[in-house]
Amino acid sequence: MTNLKLLSVALAVAAAAALVTGSAGFSSVTADRGVSISVVKDDEALVNVEACDTSANPNQGTQTPVKVRVTNQLSTDLTVEGVNGEAVPPGQATVPPGGAVIFNQAYDSPVSAVTVELESEGGTGVTLTRSVVEKSSCPFQAGNGGNDGTGAGPNDGDDDAGDDSDGNDDSDG
């Protein structure tokens, strides 16, 4: 055998061995990443969910009314995907930066907590669960009126004298 043939055979065997054994790459990496989590007061939170049991309205029959307020202090819009697994009413899904939205939920049986599914404009999703507090302990006025985040309005679900001229939550008109 000539030197050229011997060299060709050696190179062919080396190439075949390289193909069979693979490369010097890797398939996984483990890395430690630091995470910092701070707990702040509710009014300082970037996203806040509050839930209040409201006075039963005679028009609601046996259902338990719950008010849920979602406050957004992020710099981008926040989308409410659902409250306790139920879709949100059209037009109320987006909470603008610095804004709040109140959802009126009615349940066939009393609930002690609500779960709100949220997604930020960047696509980050989060699910928050909050306890439902009594109306007297509610951090916001648990009313029906408007969607300005205050819950204030002429028909606020509490049947007090400030509701309308006859002191109940129905319309006088």
- Is CATH 3.40.50.1220 correct for 42-137? no
Structure tokens at 36: 């910092």
Q: How far apart are CA 6 and CA 70, in angstroms?
A: 78
Q: Which residue has the tokens 């109306």?
A: 135
pLDDT at 166: 42
Please name the helix (run of DSSP H) or strand (run of DSSP E) that holds residue 6, with its range, or none: helix 3-21
What DSSP designation does 31 have?
Answer: -
pLDDT at 66: 86
pLDDT at 148: 41
Q: What angle do CA 112, 118, 123 make, to 5 degrees?
A: 160
pLDDT at 20: 72
pLDDT at 43: 75
What are the per-10-residue average pLDDT scores of the chain (173 residues)? 83 81 70 80 83 70 81 89 84 87 80 87 82 80 44 38 42 39
pLDDT at 26: 67
Structural domain boundaries in the chain: 42-137
Structure tokens at 21: 């054994």
